[in-house]
Chain A
Amino acid sequence: MDKLISDLKSQIVTQLNLQDIKPEDIGDDQPLFVEGLGLDSIDALELIVLLQQQYKIKLSNADEGPKVFRTVRTMAEYITAHQAQNS
């Protein structure tokens, strides 16, 4: 899980081209959107593609987005649960 969380942080920084933010600056439980890292709806769409590209997970319902992408940890939990399902 720790490895997954740290991978995700780097991938988020790269995919969203976050300037002046290092992966380790992002807290595991820090909210990614609005008051936290300040991401918006376009970033959510970028993260959906990130899940697809890196983890072969397709978010079946876009309404799930806010729950899945709340923090890096919720993303990691979602990935772990779905990879278990797939294997």
Chain B
Amino acid sequence: MYIRATGNISPQKTFGHPLMNEAPVAYTGNRLSCIEPDYKEFIDPKLIRRMSRIIRMGVAAAMECLKEADVKMPDAIVTGTSYGCLEDTYAFLSKMVEFNEELLTPTAFIQSTHNTIGAQIGLMLQCNNYNNAFVHRGFSFESALLDGMLLLKEKEASHVLVGAIDEIIPTSHTILNRLGLYKQGDVSSLDIYRAGTKGTIAGEGSSFFMLANEASSSDYARLDGMHTFYKPAGAVDIEKQVSSFLEKQGIATGDLDLIITGKNGDQKSDRIYDQPGQSVFAGIPILNYKHLCGEYPTASAFAFWLAANIIKQGKIPAMLQTSGILKPIKRVLVYNHYLNMHHSLFLLSAC
């Protein structure tokens, strides 16, 4: 199966700028926010008035992806989000507490549902086809992707729109900060891997993909496979999972041109990647990406987007500081984990 088109809104200038030939946008502090486009071009004003930020980001990235794919009616729409529409949830919840369950209005409640983004896309397209929403923490995007891949394999669909969306709002940032997830002080997003401290930086994003059964001349990459594993027992278990995935795909590690890992600057979390880095991944160039988008449960979708773009261009974009990778890039493995609970592997290659 193939990645026909993408749409991405992130803390970088990724919307409508898939080339990534400029320097990355740097952030100071522990929170990265998306650079949002002017939505009027993508969303009917009659619909936009009820949409909170995450819904706009989701719908706009989906529309961009559909436009690039030149697909008017996907056979399925599958989304993944861990936190869902936090702004609407917060709006309704805080009013409910404040006014003691009186004088509440329905809009924030109905928009807070976890399937709102997929539903709004369906509504805008008048698409009666399969529509599903996954909400499993660091597996939200992976679950949506697996569903999409199965629909293609089952021949239930030939084009599936798969996307992942998560937002960070002041309240969730405050709570997650109290839980000790983020770095303290004025750290620059570009320095997180060198900081050697505890915690990461908060991020968010909206990434959509058009998966297709048939190859076309404009594909980004071929999606060879995906594997997830939950709460691995330790480094040995992780190595076993990675090796058996590659084996199943019929490739040796030497066949990989690049590995994208999900280091996020938290010392303990980053160490998890070091072990396979020294064994199964030894000798292969490794890149990290969370200095660009921050850490969030569906950040792996940003890595998936990055891998697809790198393969399409055949080289590392200027956005990622690298040195010495000269070989054309034809096969990329993404390895990400979220809180050492949700581990995922994606294998993409040139068409």
Contacts and interface: CB of A to CB of B under 8 A. Distances in A.
Interface of A: 15-20, 38, 42, 45-46, 49, 52-53
A86 to B, nearest CB: 18
Chain B contact residues: over half helix, strand or loop, or mixed?
helix
Given A17-B50, A53-B103, A42 B45 contact: no
Interface in B80-125: 103-107, 110
B49 A18 contact: yes
Nearest to B45: A19
9 contacts: A15-B105, A17-B49, A18-B49, A20-B45, A38-B46, A42-B107, A46-B106, A46-B107, A49-B103
Contacts of A18: 49
B103 A42 contact: no
Interface of B: 45-46, 48-50, 103-107, 110
B49 A42 contact: no
A46 B105 contact: yes
A49 to B, nearest CB: 5
Given A17-B49, A49-B105, 14 more contacts: A15-B105, A16-B49, A17-B50, A18-B49, A19-B45, A38-B46, A42-B50, A42-B106, A45-B105, A45-B106, A46-B107, A49-B103, A49-B104, A52-B103
Contact of A42 (B46, B104, B110): B110
Contacts of A38: 46
Nearest to B111: A42
A10 to B, nearest CB: 16
A7 B110 CA distance: 27
A17 B48 CA distance: 9
A11 to B, nearest CB: 13
A19 B38 CA distance: 14
Contacts of B106: 42, 45-46
A19 B46 CA distance: 8
A55 B52 CA distance: 28
A30 to B, nearest CB: 16
B54 to A, nearest CB: 16
Among B48, B50, B105, B110, the most chain A Cβ lie within 10 Å of the Cβ of B105
What 5 A-B pairs are tightest by C-beta distance, nearest first?
A17-B49, A19-B45, A49-B105, A19-B49, A45-B106
A44 B49 CA distance: 15
A15 B50 CA distance: 11
Nearest to B48: A19
Nearest to B104: A49
A38 B103 CA distance: 24
B92 to A, nearest CB: 13
Contacts of B46: 38
A69 to B, nearest CB: 14
A19 to B, nearest CB: 5
A19 B48 CA distance: 8
Contacts of B103: 49, 52-53
Contacts of A49: 103-105
Contacts of B110: 42
Nearest to B106: A45
